[in-house]
Structure 1
Amino acid sequence: MPKPLIALDADGVLLDFHLGYAGAWERAFGERPRERDPLAYWPMDRWEVDRLDEAGRARMRAVLDEHFWSTMPPLPGAVDACHRLHDAGFELVCVSALESAYEAARLRNLRDRGFPIERVIATGNASETRSPKADAIEALRPVAFVDDYLPYLRGVPGQVHTALVLRAPNGSPNTGEEVTTLARSVHQDLVEFVDHWLAQEVP
């Protein structure tokens, strides 16, 4: 019998995109930014960084490269939380709104950090009313899907348990009526989701 699947987002669920962003800024501009708001949802609000002109944006894009996507640090407790799911009999797959060119880099990042994950599906992040991840989730048919961005739960099949990680509240998109209509459960981080999930009678 195949193991039941759990699909996990990467940035904000498994990996610390904010710290990765600060490192990329330092690579691009030679100075590590100071923290402005540790509770900010978006990295541009968390770090004391300038709004970039076109030349600055080009410099920043240049460092969002293979190195960036393969060296992001894990979020506290995330590796252990994944091992708890794995040891409980679940297969884990990462579904990330990432360009397909960096799919292998993301998988290498997860494996190097010790995550028990052998597959990454990069969906791109086209802005639509339906989640760019919905088709992948429909094809995978996982028992649960965990993401930290509420709009990415739109269009996910109803039989999938959708878990929303809230994380930082300031400027968060994870508010409003859709929290209750799209998310079957809500958690502060992946560790809290795993505590909740493993306490349930799941298939």
Structure 2
Amino acid sequence: MSIKPIIALDADGVLLDYGLAYASVWERAFGQRPVERDKDAYFPYHRWAVEFLEGERLATLQACMDEQFWSCVPPLEHAVDACHRLHDAGYELVCVSALAPQFETARLRNLRETGFPIERVIATGLAAGERSPKADAIEQLGPVVFVDDFLPYFRGIAPGVHRALICRGPNGTPNVGPELDQIHSSHADLWAFSEWMRTQILNVR
């Protein structure tokens, strides 16, 4: 067990720009890069001028979301610097991602190669039901803070863990409703969170 306090970080939308990567994988699947429609959209299929996929075309896109894809998602602006700031402040950073477990190594390689000071990834996969697929991993890690950009992923997180929500992509965001009352702090991006952490003393136990 780490002797440093742990900050658990989501990947896509917190560390990595999945929305930008979506345009690249679309181009790889269908041979044409989509035009950006709404840079402030939360979901990538709203950000880009693409059609709703099903059947064979959906399978074609998903087939391109392979080891290569998950190894090459670009970092969000200032996210690497934010992580170094947190790391230098004495925190161990662990990525907890709702990614299929078979891509856990690819995700770690992606983070290392883009300069994140992160040596551990936990890929939880998706789970049916209301409880967050990340809840069990967070319980086992015992972090002081859990940072995510998807409000439903805070369901079932232990009360003693500080819940920090990254509020990106206001258009079509799922981060609305009464569950926001369970969030301890909200931030525009990870850099803003790291700036906030400099001035906070968290009651973690």
User: The TM-score by the shorter chain falls in which range?
Assistant: over 0.9
- Equivalent residue for 1:184? 184
Counterpart CA distance in 2 for 1:146 and 1:42 is 18
Q: Work out the percentage of aligned pairs sharing the same amino acid.
A: 61
Letter aligned with residue 78 of structure 2:
G
Query: Please, what TM-score do these two structures have when normalized by structure 1?
Result: 0.97
- Equivalent residue for 1:160? 161
Q: What is the 5 A alignment of 1:45-124? A: 45-124=46-125
- Equivalent residue for 2:135? 134
Query: Please, what TM-score do these two structures have when normalized by structure 2?
Result: 0.96
Counterpart CA distance in 1 for 2:128 and 2:49 is 27
SS of structure 2 residue aligned to 1:146: strand
Per the TM alignment, residue 201 of structure 1 is displaced from its structure 2 partner at its CA by 2.3
Counterpart CA distance in 2 for 1:63 and 1:93 is 27
Counterpart CA distance in 1 for 2:72 and 2:23 is 13
The number of aligned residues is: 202
Letter aligned with residue 66 of structure 1:
E
Counterpart CA distance in 2 for 1:12 and 1:23 is 16
Query: Could you give the per-residue CA deviations for residues 118-165 of structure 1, whole angstroms, max 9, x where no partner exists?
Result: 000000112321100000000000000000000000100000000000
Query: Could you give the per-residue CA deviations for residues 145-188 of structure 1, whole angstroms, max 9, x where no partner exists?
Result: 0000000001000000000001001110101111122x110111
Counterpart CA distance in 2 for 1:5 and 1:116 is 13
Query: Could you give the per-residue CA deviations for residues 69-95 of structure 1, whole angstroms, max 9, x where no partner exists?
Result: 000000000000000000000000000
* TM-align CA RMSD: 1.1
| Deviating 4+ runs (over 3 angstroms) | none
Counterpart CA distance in 1 for 2:59 and 2:91 is 41
- Structure 2 unaligned runs (5+)? none
Query: Could you give the per-residue CA deviations for residues 12-48 of structure 1, whole angstroms, max 9, x where no partner exists?
Result: 0000000111000000000100001111100110000
Counterpart CA distance in 2 for 1:123 and 1:53 is 25
Counterpart CA distance in 1 for 2:153 and 2:128 is 10
SS of structure 2 residue aligned to 1:199: coil
Letter aligned with residue 194 of structure 2:
V
Per the TM alignment, residue 53 of structure 1 is displaced from its structure 2 partner at its CA by 3.4
Counterpart CA distance in 2 for 1:47 and 1:127 is 28
- Equivalent residue for 2:8? 7
SS of structure 2 residue aligned to 1:81: helix
Counterpart CA distance in 1 for 2:199 and 2:37 is 37
Per the TM alignment, residue 200 of structure 1 is displaced from its structure 2 partner at its CA by 1.0
- Structure 1 unaligned runs (5+)? none
- Equivalent residue for 1:201? 201
Counterpart CA distance in 1 for 2:30 and 2:16 is 23
